Amino acid sequence: MSSPIQNYRIAELLQTQQTTPQIKPQVGGGPAFDEILANRLKVSGHAQTRLQSRDLQLDKGAWERVIGGVERAAQKGAKESLVLVDDVALVVSVKNKTVITAVDQARLKDNVFTNIDSAIVV
């Protein structure tokens, strides 16, 4: 059994810590782009691995175009889309707003994309 804390100042500090929410400071006065992306489009573990192993990097503008394309596809009723952005092809679950996989231009040749119902060029 644990005995109660005898030092009232420590007990007071512990109670304050438990009730005070931790607020992370924001650099630049607004939320980070990664946070915005996470709220609008997720990247699956598989897709993240493909992006890293193939050294595929999309900048903020490219991700914004992808998100815009996915939103347009959702309005048209698409469920699984192939999104072509710059030299990268992304298979995206429109319903779940999740990037499923990523392929670079060098691997696009002779590649067959299945289980998609739409294609978006952004």
Give Cα 6 distance to the centre of its chain.
47
- What pTM was computed for the model? 0.70
The answer to the question of residue 25 being in a domain is no
Amino acid identity, position 91: V
The answer to the question of residue 3 being in a domain is no
pLDDT confidence bin for 50, thresholds 50/70/90: very high
Alpha helices per DSSP H over the chain: 8-19, 33-40, 45-53, 60-75, 105-108
The answer to the question of residue 28 being in a domain is no
The answer to the question of residue 115 being in a domain is yes
Q: Do residues 94 and 108 touch, judged by C-beta distance below 8 A?
A: no
Domain of 47, CATH number, reads: 3.30.2310
The answer to the question of residue 55 being in a domain is yes
Range of the structural domain that residue 55 is part of: 41-121
Q: Tokens at residue 42, please?
A: 């997720």
The answer to the question of residue 94 being in a domain is yes
Domain count, the chain: 1
Residue 77 has pLDDT above 50, yes or no: yes
